[in-house]
Each structure stands twice: as C-alpha cells, then as structure tokens.
Amino acid sequence: MKKLETRIPPPLLVLLYGIAMWLAAHYLPAASLAEAWFTSLWRYWSTVLLLLATGGLFAFALVAFKRKKTTVNPHHPGKTSALITSGVFRISRNPLYLAMYFILLAWGVWLGNGLAVLLSTGFIPTINRLQIIPEEQALQAIFGEEFEQYRQRVRRWL
C-alpha cells in the first residue's frame, strides 16, 4: 500500500468510484431506493444542492491555495510552502477531498441506488490512506507545531 501513496491522482479515484457506483446501480437494481419516498424531483434537487456545495468548496479552496502561492499538486506534498488555515480550511483540513466525496455522494443520489450511495463512502478511507495521511505527515515535517495546533483545532473531514 505504501507504494500507492500519493501516486494515484485523486480525480482518478473519484472516476473509479463513480464507475463502480454506476455498475452497482446498473447490475444490482434491487438496491434501488424506494420510489415512494425517493422521487426523481427529490433526487434532482438533492443532487443539485450537493453539486453547488461542491463547487463552493472547490472554488474557495483553490482561491486559498492561489492566495498563499502554494502547491495544490497532490503528488508532491513535501513541496508545500504555506499552511492554509483560513476560509474553508477552518471547517475542514481537506475541503478539496470533501468536495470530491460530495461529487460521489451526488452521483449516488442521482443514480437512486442505495448500494451506489454506500459505495461512495468507500472513497473516504481510500483517500485517507493513499493521500491524506501522507500529506499530513509532510505537513507535520514542514510546519511542526503550527500544523499540530491546526490539526487539533480542525477536523480532517467535517
């Protein structure tokens, strides 16, 4: 597993999970959410709201990276030049990964399949292991006590 750390682009993981979710919805229709309470109108608006939240998280996080003039490249966390602790980074240490999870959750809701929604949650431990933990180790090495205080104040996800 160590060899995969920071090697798989997070958007590729989102794509792979999205494909697995589609396959689950397509080939296991018995897991469809009950139409009586899960109407297509509800699915539509839930998906739209999740995607709006996703867009906001992405935009605010990317602006913060640009303002601090630090890397957003997930393959080289050791090249980080600034610790971002303001804006959306006050509520989550990983707003970009949270946004990626929201994309998958929105996809699962749109598919209307309980198994697809459940599969979306698999992204969290995967990205934790392959990306977030190595990134946090790099940030700890670079910023030391400043990162430790931030880590104590702000949750990894929400």
Tell me the C-alpha to C-alpha distance, in Å, between residue 108 and each of 22, 29, 158: 8, 13, 20
Q: Where are the domains of the chain?
A: 38-153
Place of tokens 């601090």: 68
- Percentage of the chain modeled with pLDDT above 90: 78
Prediction pTM value: 0.93
Give the separation between CA 117 and CA 21, rounded to whole angstroms: 8
Buried b (16+ CB within 10 A) or exposed e, 36-64: eebeeeebeeebeebbeebeebbeebeeb
Per residue in 5-55, pLDDT tens? Answer: 888 999 999 999 999 999 999 998 877 766 655 677 888 899 999 999 999
Q: What is the model's pLDDT at position 32?
A: 76
Please state the φ and ψ torsions of residue 113, each to the nearest 5 degrees.
-125, 125
Q: What is the model's pLDDT at position 76?
A: 87
Q: What is the model's pLDDT at position 42?
A: 84
- Degrees, nearest 5: CA angle 33-111-92: 100
Tell me which amino acid residue 65 is: F
Tell me which amino acid residue 55 is: G
DSSP state at residue 92:
-
- Name 140's Cβ contacts closer than 8 Å, sequence gap at least 6: 147, 148, 151
**pLDDT exceeds cutoff 70 at 1:** no
